[in-house]
Chain A
Amino acid sequence: GAGVSQSPSNKVTEKGKDVELRCDPISGHTALYWYRQSLGQGLEFLIYFQGNSAPDKSGLPSDRFSAERTGGSVSTLTIQRTQQEDSAVYLCASSWGDRRVGAFFGQGTRLTVV
């Protein structure tokens, strides 16, 4: 596709359930990021994939959060045993390896845990 695609756009889940959020990056982009944005707040880094290198997982808030990137393309962010504080917009971004170029973002998934 022409841009970064995230699905679903909105997700409401019950506390304690697991959720999977999907990100389709721009074709050819080697870098992929996940960020979390709570209401009215800035972007909190979660995880970063760059090519075949080991991902930078330093931003994951707990072991309930995990992410994978298959075939260097699609990425899935999984949150297990969701809690109400997990409610936020989850943004995915991708970029070329050239660090001069900023990342391109998807429209995010709004997760609401009830």
Chain B
Amino acid sequence: AQTVTQSQPEMSVQEAETVTLSCTYDTSESDYYLFWYKQPPSRQMILVIRQEAYKQQNATENRFSVNFQKAAKSFSLKISDSQLGDAAMYFCAYRKETSGSRLTFGEGTQLTVNP
């Protein structure tokens, strides 16, 4: 079974600084997809960024970027120029490239942004 591990239950960063959230996963598949979701106090899960395993180039969405290391099964999220609105729980998720596959989530990392 696939597992997703986020080893940092909590992280904090100063406003305007950069922070990196870690995620590792375990799979025997070669084709799959990885996601980072943000969950603010409103409970609404928001997709932040996604990565296709067959692509070597790291995904980037404005201030958010990933460091995808397929051999190491690592998928970290970097947030640059952190803003107060980035404070939230962040979840890493995995989905394999097979019909009927579901999203498997990590335990989450609570990010605090200090003014």
Contact = CB atoms under 8 A, between A and B. Distances in A.
Contact of B108 (A42, A91, A102, A107): A42
A21 to B, nearest CB: 14
Interface string A35-72: 10000011101001010010010000000000000000
A102 B102 contact: no
Range, interface on chain B: 20 to 34
A107 B100 contact: no
Contacts, number: 58
A104 interface: yes
Contact of B103 (A50, A103, A108): A103
A47 to B, nearest CB: 9
Given A43-B91, A56-B100, A100-B52, A108 B43 contact: yes
A107 B97 contact: no
30 contacts: A33-B102, A33-B103, A35-B105, A41-B108, A42-B108, A45-B105, A48-B102, A50-B99, A50-B100, A53-B100, A56-B100, A56-B102, A89-B43, A91-B43, A91-B45, A93-B103, A99-B95, A99-B96, A99-B97, A100-B33, A100-B52, A101-B50, A102-B37, A103-B47, A105-B37, A105-B44, A105-B45, A105-B46, A107-B43, A110-B43
Interface of A: 33, 35, 41-43, 45, 48, 50, 53, 56, 89, 91, 93, 99-105, 107-108, 110
